[in-house]
């Protein structure tokens, strides 16, 4: 099938373009990415690249002609394709009734400036941002708006974690003089699910309302890109747009282990819908998802065993933070098995036996597969996007190897976090509508694990900093010396600052302790604004607050922390 060369729409206001010069003639071979013609708009001239390789079969509009945007101006195809079959067929109106087959494909010609595939964090934000910039926008979503984060990940899991936190407070209340007569805590999973689902429904309906109030047209179904760079919905509708934003998100990663397909092996999606708390839960994978869900179900009453292939859990974090989190997790009664290679999972009827190379097997009622997520590339369809290890490659503008197609969020695999996807979606939308001019900086993007206590980081770990910089300094302050933390019975953890010794540049901040997920934004702002250590310690922090621990850790970098005992020389 031949590839259409169309008059591009270089901006929202562009309605037509004039062909200045064809650099190829009919019958010439062309290569994808090769410049084939020059056009002139009312504002500027621009060169067009071939979007497919083959033969220039037909030039429909010649030099000097003015052509409406999105109209076909030529065809690229195989040498043996018949040119006559490429030209639009003129059909005489006989008054015959259109057949159901003819009605099957509904073509929405020239309707949209931007079409977005996927209604997750990157997709819905991109759609709203593009609409705010004046574009007419369509969005295609196959499920419920909000994506994995809102429906199956960060939001529902936080509802579970809050339950675990409440239970922990109840169990420790007596140490604060609060005596609860009944020591029995019973979990009503039906109500737990009902509350979680109500939160999700409120947020997903809110996203849909935002889209509608911003004038974004919503299409339900599976969206894929065809070879002519149109979006096809459910194989029945074609949406033609100037630019496409592919924000397909991610899906659960799976591993090839014998027995992994047992119905007792659950994904994080499955676990958030179970109606009984398993007596014993084996968590396969000690990363962010595994640590969060392990602590959630431990709080709800499960005996939890975390099985991690690496030599430590949450290995993306600073070693000191990981060591402290491991200590806390074990203190809560969770068993942690590291450097573990699972060889087989055996379904024994009422239990699972998880066999580990060189270690004792783990027996559990259920297992959670929590080894992470991978980009969902289904939306690529027929277009040839450059990928690397299952991730769509994008440039600093979020644009793919095919001009006019952008891929923000989890599909590019750069940093698979919802808050990063939000920003990527904004950047992609602005560049799609206004032309490539906005880039994204990820240095100040934080990572958070909602464990008990919370863990958060931004920038480099100590090890990464030592590999990159010749001279660094470390500052640290424990929450055990923070007044607010002590008064709140949350004096576990610390703040750690990594800085360049020569210039005082902040290289990384790491927090494990109360409200770490909220506190890390201060550190992100410090790094984004390129504030030095000396400038931070000139700031007056409120007292008593958890954030004073940040101030003290920065002061410790300079050896000026007041509330740390003087170190022996």
Dihedral (Cα; 505, 511, 515, 517), 10-degree rounding: 70
Those residues whose C-beta lies under 8 Å from the C-beta of residue 141, and which sit 6 or more positions away, are 118, 119, 123, 218, 219, 220, 223
How many C-alpha atoms does 99 have within 13 Å on its Cβ side?
2
Which residue carries 């450097």 as its tokens?
A: 339
Those residues whose C-beta lies under 8 Å from the C-beta of residue 327, and which sit 6 or more positions away, are none
Question: Reduced to 3 states, what is the DSSP secondary structure of residue 54?
Answer: strand
Per residue, the 3-state secondary structure of 289-305, as one string, reads HHHHHHHHHHHHCCEEE
Q: What residues does 497 pair with on adjacent strands?
A: 475, 509
How many residues can be counted in the chain? Answer: 569
Cis ω on the peptide bond leading into residue 158 (within 30° of 0)? no
75's tokens: 């065809």
Q: What residues does 80 pair with on adjacent strands?
A: none
Sign, Cα dihedral of 162, 165, 171, 177: negative
Q: Which of 169, 510, 543, 563 is catalytic?
A: 543
| Cα separation, 68 vs 56, whole angstroms | 21
332 by Cβ neighbours in 10 Å (0-12 / 13-18 / 19+) ranks as: middle
Of 17, 285, 242, residue with least CA distance to 133: 242
Active site annotation includes 510: no
Those residues whose C-beta lies under 8 Å from the C-beta of residue 468, and which sit 6 or more positions away, are 460
Question: Reduced to 3 states, what is the DSSP secondary structure of residue 212?
Answer: helix
118 by Cβ neighbours in 10 Å (0-12 / 13-18 / 19+) ranks as: buried
| Cα separation, 285 vs 308, whole angstroms | 5
Is the separation of the CB atoms in 58 and 74 below 8 Å?
yes
Q: What residues does 217 pair with on adjacent strands?
A: 138
- Alpha helices (H) in 24-153, listed in sequence order: 100-104, 121-132, 147-152
461's tokens: 């770990």
Which residue carries 């609409």 as its tokens?
A: 131
Mark residue 182 as left, alpha or beta (left: phi above 0; alpha: psi -120 to 50; beta: remaining). Answer: beta
Strands (E), 253-389: 265-267, 280-284, 303-307, 335-337, 342-347, 352-356, 359-364, 366-369, 373-375, 387-388
Those residues whose C-beta lies under 8 Å from the C-beta of residue 434, and which sit 6 or more positions away, are 11, 133
- Integer-rounded Cα radius of gyration of the chain: 28
- What positions carry a catalytic annotation? 543
């Amino acid at each position: 099938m031949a590839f259409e060369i169309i008059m591009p729409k270089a901006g929202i206001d562009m309605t037509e373009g004039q062909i200045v010069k064809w650099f190829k003639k009919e019958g010439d071979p062309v290569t994808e990415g090769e410049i084939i013609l020059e056009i002139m708009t009312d504002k500027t001239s621009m060169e067009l690249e071939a979007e497919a390789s083959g033969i220039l079969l037909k030039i429909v509009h010649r030099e000097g002609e003015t052509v409406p945007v999105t109209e076909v101006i030529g065809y690229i195809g195989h040498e043996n394709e018949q040119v006559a079959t490429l030209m639009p067929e003129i059909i005489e109106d006989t008054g015959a009734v259109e057949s159901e087959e003819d009605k099957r494909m509904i073509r929405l010609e020239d309707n949209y400036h931007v079409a977005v595939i996927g209604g997750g964090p990157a997709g819905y934000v991109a759609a709203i941002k593009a609409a705010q910039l004046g574009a007419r926008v369509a969005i295609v979503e196959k499920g419920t708006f909000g994506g994995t984060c809102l429906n199956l990940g960060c939001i529902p899991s936080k509802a579970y974690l809050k339950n675990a936190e409440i239970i922990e407070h109840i169990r420790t209340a007596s140490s604060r003089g609060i005596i609860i007569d009944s020591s029995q805590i019973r979990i009503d999973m039906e109500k737990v699910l009902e509350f979680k689902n109500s939160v999700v429904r409120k947020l997903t309906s809110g996203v849909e309302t935002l889209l509608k109030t911003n004038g974004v047209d919503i299409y339900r179904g599976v969206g894929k890109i065809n070879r002519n760079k149109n979006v096809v919905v459910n194989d029945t509708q074609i949406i033609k747009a100037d630019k496409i934003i592919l924000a397909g998100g991610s899906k659960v990663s799976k591993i090839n282990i014998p027995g992994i397909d047992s119905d007792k092996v659950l994904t994080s999606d499955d676990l958030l819908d179970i109606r009984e708390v398993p007596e014993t839960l084996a968590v396969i994978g000690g990363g962010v998802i595994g640590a969060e869900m392990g602590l959630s179900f431990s709080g709800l009453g499960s005996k939890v065993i975390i099985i991690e292939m690496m030599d430590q859990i949450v290995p993306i974090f600073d070693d000191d933070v990981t060591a402290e989190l491991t200590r806390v997790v074990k203190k809560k009664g969770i068993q942690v098995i590291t450097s573990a290679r699972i060889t087989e999972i055996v379904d024994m009827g009422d239990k699972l036996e998880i066999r580990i190379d060189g270690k004792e097997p783990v027996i559990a009622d259920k297992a959670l597969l929590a080894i992470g997520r991978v980009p969902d590339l289904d939306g690529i369809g027929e277009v040839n996007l450059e990928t690397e290890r299952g991730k769509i490659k994008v440039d600093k503008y979020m644009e793919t190897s095919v001009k006019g197609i952008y891929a923000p969020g989890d599909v590019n695999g750069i940093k698979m976090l919802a808050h990063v996807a939000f920003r990527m979606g904004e950047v992609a939308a602005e560049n799609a509508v206004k032309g490539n001019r906005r880039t994204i900086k990820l240095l100040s993007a934080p990572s958070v694990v909602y464990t008990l206590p919370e863990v958060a980081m931004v920038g480099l770990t100590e090890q990464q900093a030592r590999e990159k910089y010749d001279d660094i300094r470390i500052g640290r302050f424990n929450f055990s010396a923070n007044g607010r933390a002590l008064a709140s019975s949350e004096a576990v953890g610390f703040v750690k600052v990594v800085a360049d010794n020569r210039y005082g540049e902040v290289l990384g901040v790491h927090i494990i302790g109360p409200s770490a997920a909220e506190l890390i934004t201060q550190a992100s702002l410090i790094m984004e604004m390129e504030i030095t250590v000396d400038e931070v310690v000139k700031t007056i922090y409120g007292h008593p607050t958890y954030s004073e621990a940040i101030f003290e850790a920065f002061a410790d970098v300079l050896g000026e922390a007041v509330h740390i005992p003087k170190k022996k020389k």
